[in-house]
Amino acid sequence: MNKLAIVALGGNALLRGNQKGTVEEQNQNTTDTLENLIFLIKEGYDIVIAHGNGPQVGNILMRNDAGEQMYNIPQMPLDIDVADSQGGIGYMIERNLRNILKKHGIQKDVITLVTQVVVDKNDPAFQDPQKRVGKIYTKEQADDLSSSKGWIFKEEVKAHGGWRRVVPSPKPVRVMNEAIVEDLARKGNIVITVGGGGVPVYEDENGQICPVEGVIDKDSASALIGARIKADEFYILTDVPFIYKNFKKENEEAIEFLNYQDTLELLKDGQFAEGSMAPKIRACLDFVKNGGKKSVITEATKLDDRKYGSKITMEYEN
């Protein structure tokens, strides 16, 4: 049986911070990133791909807002927006990956799944929304929207100030259709799933699937589906080749090999910033704790060079 790897593409895999977000830019970025996955395929890995959607779903929310204000088009709820972004980004990844596979003479099917991810409706995150989404509003606009739609806002201390909507980011509990993902991947198909962390839903007391106005961390959902489909390795592709101790300080130190306990101690020590590396570290720890053999954090262009990447295992590799 081939090794199975789940690969989580960061937001910069599709849209760079200094770009407008045109389809041409995103297609080029996607192609450049996916080209690096050919190494794993040629090494004999079966692949499942996850991806972020932060900039894209933010743009969808702003289009919703403009459509409502200018043309009285009803806004869609956040679960529909996440599903929209899953479909659009999944299509972009799938089409470009098919072209790359053809260029390398590799015959594989690629399939995109619009994926629902179950959360606990009693998750504490619902009582403390923190995830910022959508555009920046003035205080007056935020107050109006809070009154008319029930949205919650927090002041935006970065950029140029203003107020942004915040939504819950509950922990994923179960990925729908995970058995199908495993079956397709084990048969050699490349599966794109849990895009943007998946569409968050919960089950009510009657077993009905209900939508959630929130978002799920992409790396946490990727680690969950990876463990549930018994993947061997979990790769988080980001914009740095390693994780670092004392990041951006004079005594900065790149770390290549870590075990579970030492990584946990570094996390508790505050070595990894919340909102950037800390969620990735937690996802990597969850993956190996729940049966995965290895988690790797690295830059996409370094994937084919084994001397790069921070590798986290339950015990130190021999």
Q: Write out pLDDT tens, residues 199-245.
A: 999 999 999 999 999 999 999 999 999 999 999 999 999 989 999 99
Q: Which of 10, 11, 54, 214 is catalytic?
A: 11
- Alpha helices, H only, 74-208: 78-103, 139-149, 178-186
State which H helix or E strand residue 87 sits in.
helix 78-103
For residue range 67-77, what is the model confidence (pLDDT) as tens digits?
999 999 999 99
Q: Are 102 and 35 within 8 A, CB to CB? A: no
The pTM (predicted TM-score) of the whole model is 0.94
The residue type at 42? K
Give domain limits for the chain: 4-119+175-313
Q: Are 242 and 266 within 8 A, CB to CB? A: no
- The mean pLDDT value for 293-302 works out to 94
Instruction: Quote the tokens at residue 134.
Output: 């959508």
12 catalytic per annotation:
yes
Q: Which of 36, 53, 280, 311 is catalytic?
A: 280
CATH label, 4-119+175-313, candidates 2.40.50.140, 3.40.1160.10, 3.30.420.10, 3.40.50.300 = 3.40.1160.10
Q: What is the radius of gyration, based on Cα positions, of the chain?
A: 20
pLDDT reported for residue 15 = 81
- Alpha helices, H only, 201-316: 218-228, 260-268, 278-289
Rounded to whole angstroms, the Cα distance separating 55 from 12 reads 9
280 catalytic per annotation:
yes
Residue 238: closest CA among 11, 5, 4:
11
For residue range 247-274, what is the model confidence (pLDDT) as tens digits?
999 999 999 999 999 999 999 999 999 9
Q: Are 287 and 234 within 8 A, CB to CB? A: yes
For residue range 153-168, what is the model confidence (pLDDT) as tens digits?
999 876 678 999 999 9
Q: Which of 218, 226, 292, 309 is catalytic?
A: 218
pLDDT reported for residue 159 = 62
Q: Which of 10, 58, 131, 214 is catalytic?
A: 131
46 beta partners: 4
Q: Classify each residue of 72-108 as buried b or exposed e, where b means 16 or more C-beta atoms within 10 Å of its C-beta.
A: eeeebebbebbbbbbebbbebbbebbbebbeeeeeee
Q: Are 79 and 201 within 8 A, CB to CB? A: yes
pLDDT reported for residue 182 = 98
pLDDT reported for residue 305 = 87
State which H helix or E strand residue 28 sits in.
helix 23-34
294 catalytic per annotation:
no
Q: How far is CA 113 from CA 59, 178, 180, 210, 223, in A?
A: 21, 11, 10, 19, 17
Rounded to whole angstroms, the Cα distance separating 47 from 28 reads 21
Rounded to whole angstroms, the Cα distance separating 181 from 195 reads 13
Angle subtended at Cα 132 by Cα 84 and Cα 213, rounded to the nearest 5 degrees: 50
pLDDT reported for residue 72 = 95
